[in-house]
Amino acid sequence: DFCLSRGLGDVYKRQVQGRRTMSQVYGRVALIGLGLIASSMFWAIKRGGLVGEVTGYARSEETRATARRIGLCDRVCDTLEDAVKDADLVVLCVPVGAMEAVARQMAGSLKPGATVSDVGSVKRAVIEAVGPHIPEGVHFVPAHPLAGTEHSGPESGFAELFDNRWSLIVPSGDPDAGAVADLRALWEGMGANVDVMDPDHHDLVLAVTSHTPHLIAYTMVGVADDLRRVTDSEVIKYSAAGFRDFTRIAASDPTMWRDVFLTNKDATLEILGRFTEELFALQRAIRTGDGDLLHDYFTRTRGIRRGILDAGQDVDAPNFGRSTKAK
Ligand code: NAP
């Protein structure tokens, strides 16, 4: 046992902690990868008293040391195998491209009857990468919380991240009803609203609502950066709302987003194709002075914003509720 807490007293405490009480959803949960999503899950689990004991593992010594310093996870383990051993639920919180290697390495240490889940932003690729490594008698229930920030790492998480946001459970094949119900209860306990969705539909919806918008933001910030070489600091100095919002999105983790585009290739290319056609139509309207087309288009898109507000997925405060003073 390479886990941090040692000694007989600790072993006893761990056994008690790992046992599920009436209000708890799982006795023991293992979080693999200790970044924004895993750390937010841990704080939300603690807030709700949802789990007996949470173990955690990250590949780098530095992240494990940070986790121990800030009290992230009840027990931080030095090996993946130790973290998943005896866990009722194992949640893979690593970049999508790293899921297969992690699943392969931990497969032999999983407890019979346990559930493996993940939080990856792409679902078909994760199902294909992880599914084959799940042993007989272990359930696999993929999921994806639709909540995040542009920050990453073990210190970026907070308990409220999932409050009133959607978390999608995206099972493949014929999932175990009890395993799905428990995972749903955990996400609801962490504050999320839960829906169940088919993997391919998930990947298409996310290509529209998240993946392609990120690519566009990355591109726009790249264009502005090229321009900056011409106009010196003006792009930063006069950075108005539209561009500032792009820079926030384009500050998202490069590894995570590289993996999203490499693994949700078809859906992203489909949406990008449609985006390019629309862009050309607007470009032509500008060139030909077709104000009616532009006005009609912008009226329609304003209606979409209204729909998001009505669904309670954003606030109606000006400037997205930000203070006008830069911090
Ligand atoms: P993060 O803050 O960057 O943390 C990633 C964690 O994964 C770190 O602990 C890192 O370990 C570990 N890791 C990275 N590469 C690895 C590898 N090759 N093998 C093993 N471990 C590796 O990431 P995150 O934002 O929490 O994202 C985690 C997952 O959630 C991703 O699959 C992402 O698609 C999904 N997701 C993200 C968001 C979001 O907005 N950020 C929203 C929903 C879902 P070290 O610290 O030791 O390097």
pLDDT for 2 equals 31
284 CB-near residues (< 8 Å, 6+ apart):
290
The CB of 58 under 6 Å from ligand 1? The reply is yes
Please report, to the nearest 10 degrees, the dihedral formed by the alpha carbons of residues 222, 225, 231, 232 taken in order. Answer: 180
CA of 93 to the centre of ligand 1 (A): 6
Quick one: pLDDT at residue 11? 35
The pLDDT of residue 53 is 98
CA distances from 117 to 141, 181, 183 (A): 5, 13, 8
For residue 241, give the nearest of 163, 319, 159, 322 by alpha carbon: 319
Q: What is the pLDDT of residue 13?
A: 39
- For ligand 1, atom 18, which residue shows the shortest CA distance? 98
Residue 119 CA to ligand 1 center (angstroms) comes to 9
Q: Tell me what pLDDT residue 111 has.
A: 98
How many angstroms separate the alpha carbon of residue 99 from the centre of ligand 1?
Answer: 10
Which residue shows structure tokens 């907070």? 158
Strands 143-145 and 166-169: antiparallel
96 CB under 6 A from ligand 1? yes
Q: Is 204 in the pocket of ligand 1 (CB under 6 A)?
A: no
- Ligand 1 pocket: which of 41, 43, 59 to mutate (most atoms within 8 A of CB): 59
End-to-end CA distance of the chain: 46
Ligand 1 pocket, 94 CB below 6 A? yes
Instruction: Give buried/exposed letters for 189-213 (b at 16+ CB in 10 A, else e).
Output: bbbbebeebebeebbbbbbeebbbe
Nearest CA to ligand 1 atom 3: 152
- Ligand 1 atom 31: the closest Cα is on which residue? 95
Per-residue pLDDT of the chain (327 residues; tens, 9 = 90+): 233 333 333 333 344 456 676 679 999 999 999 999 999 999 999 999 999 999 999 999 999 999 999 999 999 999 999 999 999 999 999 999 999 999 999 999 999 999 999 999 999 999 999 999 999 999 999 999 999 999 999 999 999 999 999 999 999 888 999 999 999 999 999 999 999 999 999 999 999 999 999 999 999 989 888 887 666 677 777 777 778 888 889 999 999 999 999 999 999 999 999 999 999 999 999 999 999 999 999 999 999 888 888 888 787 877 666 655 544
151 in ligand 1 pocket by Cβ < 6 Å?
no
Which atom of ligand 1 is nearest to 147's Cα?
42
pTM for this structure? 0.89
Determine the pLDDT at residue 3.
Answer: 35
Closest ligand 1 atom, residue 62 Cα: 47
Residue 121 burial class via C-beta count within 10 angstroms: exposed 0-12, middle 13-18, buried 19 and up: buried
Residue 275 CB-density burial (10 A; 0-12 exposed, 13-18 middle, 19+ buried): middle
Give the angle subtended at the CA of 143 by the CAs of 142 and 149, to the nearest 5°: 140
Long-range Cβ contact pairs of 143-146 (< 8 A, separation 24 or more) = 143/117, 143/118, 143/119, 143/167, 143/168, 143/169, 143/170, 143/183, 143/187, 144/119, 144/120, 144/168, 144/170, 144/202, 144/206, 145/37, 145/119, 145/187, 145/192, 146/209, 146/210
Q: Give me ligand 1 centre to Cα 4, in Å.
A: 22
The residue whose CB lies within 8 Å of the most ligand 1 atoms, and thus the one to mutate among 32, 37, 78, 130, is 37
* Ligand 1 in reach of 121 Cβ (< 6 A): yes
Sheet holding 26-32, edge to edge: 75-76, 51-57, 26-32, 89-92, 115-118, 139-140
